[in-house]
Amino acid sequence: MTNNIMVKWNKEPFVESIEHMRTERTKQIQKNAYLQNGAYPIIDQGQDKIAGWTNDEQSVINENLPLIIFGDHTRIFKYIDFPFAVGADGTKLIKPKNKFNPRYFYYYLLTLDIPSKGYSRHYRTLKEKSINYLPLPEQRKIAAILFKIQQAIETQEKILANLQELKKSTMEYLFTHGTKGEKTKQTEIGQIPESWEVETFLDTIDDFKIDREKQIQANVYLSEGKYPIIDQGQKLVSGWTNNEADILRNDLPLIIFGDHTRVFKYVDSPFAIGADGTKIIKPQSRFYAKYFYYYLLRLDIPSKGYSRHYKTLKEKEIFYPIFSEQKEIANILETIDRKTAYHSFKKIMLNNLFNSMLNKLMTGEIRVNNLDIKLTDV
């Protein structure tokens, strides 16, 4: 938080701004007892808002709502306004006093700097903080603005989750039935269209040698640059370089496989190769490269930890239709990917807006006391 607090703001120690709350340890649900489905959600200190489910009605908290959850180890805050059960160790319950709008209090907590101490406890640090606050009417207006943005973010998250499920089910259908409505035949991996052919993975790719001297070590990745560096990490682009001599321009598109991570990436523009564990796959010309990429995504390559996995990939088989149907399948899946990219971008922009408004509203840079704002949701 900055010190740009205006005169009308009040300040109170955190410990004096909350009600005393105690959770019976016998009612806290251990992680090994979490259910995948149930009558009541379990809230703990983890990243996911809902960590699991329970049917144990005796463990449910349905009074003094809303409450704020603080992860003593994780430093995560959650705003909970529905009946729930408390997860295991490290879940702290916070109930603001009546002078605070609960959502305002929650949003203010998000601005606090609580440095990580690893898996140590952090509630002690939180208790040393102070809460800056305005009269209740303006608190509610601030909360309403931030909640509106948060609702928009949650809408994008739901859309993205639905698109993920749509892609999964569409891939399953297309690689089982194709696009021509033809009869299917049974194979070792299940049903596929009768006309589709099968080859071993090694028989479907061209030999592609990587010049080891051109692979860029992680310690020299740039945060900005002319060309992206692609490696086996989770992100599509792991860093940047300006070294023209290291750039792959020919034989595009290519598919990257993370030998340790099992991550596949489709690359169709000039790039530099990251360090150890980055394998490059070049499908032969009878394959539409994007089809080949999508087919690889559905392969089961069990994790061996940080061991190498390319050996497992080499043992797989590739089932494929004629080139035109490959392209048709890839185009269908690309449409879903484009929608996913669009909504992912919208979510990023909304997150940026939320963080900007959070800072400006909680420091007094923007005041909303004279604005007419709908307050029914807060």
Task: Look at residue 368 in the predicted model and tell me its pLDDT.
Answer: 85
Q: Is residue 204 part of a domain?
A: yes
C-alpha neighbours within 13 Å on the C-beta side of residue 74: 16
Q: 63 pLDDT exceeds 80?
A: yes
Q: Does the residue 1 lie in any domain?
A: no
In a domain, 85, yes or no: yes
Report the 10 Å Cβ neighbour count for 354. 19
Which of 88, 117, 133 is at the close of a domain?
133
pLDDT tens digits, one per residue of 256-277 = 999 999 999 999 999 999 988 8
CATH code at position 338: 1.10.287.1120
* Residues 75 and 110 sit within 8 Å (Cβ to Cβ): no
Say what the pTM is. 0.85
Instruction: Decide: helix, strand or coil at residue 157.
Output: helix
What is the CATH number for 249?
3.90.220.20
246 and 257 share a domain?
Answer: yes
For residues 214 and 170, membership in a common domain is answered with no
**What pLDDT does residue 4 have?**
47
The reply to whether 140 and 102 lie within a common domain is no
pLDDT of residue 149: 97
pLDDT at 3 over 50: no
Predicted pLDDT at 189: 76
How many Å apart are CA 364 and CA 101, to the nearest integer?
A: 17
- 123 lies in the same domain as 162: no
Buried b (16+ CB within 10 A) or exposed e, 192-212: bbeebeeeebeebbeeeeeee
Q: Look at residues 99, 133, 167 and tell me which one is the last residue of a structural domain.
A: 133
Domain boundary among 83, 115, 133: 133
Tell me if 5 is assigned to some domain.
Answer: no
- Arithmetic mean of pLDDT, 177-202: 91
The DSSP 8-state label assigned to residue 239 in this structure reads E
**Are 14 and 162 in a shared domain?**
no
In a domain, 312, yes or no: no
Going by C-beta distance under 8 Å and a sequence separation of 6 or more, which residues neighbour residue 280?
208, 210, 254, 255, 256, 257, 273
Predicted confidence (pLDDT) per residue in 72-100, tens digit = 999 999 999 999 999 977 899 999 999 99
DSSP states of 28-70: SBPGGG-BSS-SEEEE-SSSSS--EEE--GGGEE-SS-SEEEE
Residues 16 and 128 in one domain: yes
Whether residue 362 contacts residue 108, with contact meaning beta carbons closer than 8 Å, is answered with: yes
Residue 54 sits at φ, ψ, to 5 deg, of -145, 155
Structure confidence at residue 207 (pLDDT): 87
Q: State the Cα–Cα distance between residues 88 and 7, nearest whole angstrom.
A: 42
pLDDT for position 90: 87
Q: Which domain holds residue 70?
A: 10-133
Q: 221 and 159 share a domain?
A: no
Residue 4 lies in a domain: no
Mean pLDDT to the nearest integer, 194-198: 94
Residue 95 has a pLDDT of 96
**Does the structure show a pLDDT above 60 at 2?**
no
What DSSP line would sit under 279-324, residue for residue?
EEEEE-TTS-HHHHHHHHHT-----BTBS--HHHHHT-EEEE--HH
SS (H, E, C) 203-221: HHEECCCCCHHHCECHHHC
Instruction: Quote the percentage of the chain above a pLDDT of 70.
Output: 97
* Residues 218 and 244 grouped into a single domain: yes
Exposure of 254 in the CB half-sphere (CA atoms within 13 A): 23
**pLDDT tier, 306 (very low <50, low <70, confident <90, very high otherwise):** confident
Q: What is the mean pLDDT of residues 47-57?
A: 93
Average pLDDT in the chain: 92
Domain count, the chain: 3
In a domain, 307, yes or no: no
| 8 A C-beta contact, residue 285 and residue 323 | no
Residue 373 lies in a domain: yes
Q: 172 and 274 in one domain?
A: no
Q: Are both 175 and 238 inside the same structural domain?
A: no
131 SS3 class: strand
Q: For the chain, what percent of residues have pLDDT higher than 90?
A: 80
Q: In this structure, are 110 and 24 located in the same domain?
A: yes
* Cα separation, 67 vs 88, whole angstroms: 17
Same domain? 118 vs 157: no
Average pLDDT over residues 349-369: 94
Radius of gyration (C-alpha) of the chain in whole angstroms: 26
Q: pLDDT per residue over 225-252, tens digit each? A: 999 999 999 999 999 999 999 999 988 9
Q: Element (H or E) spanning 351, and its range?
A: helix 323-363
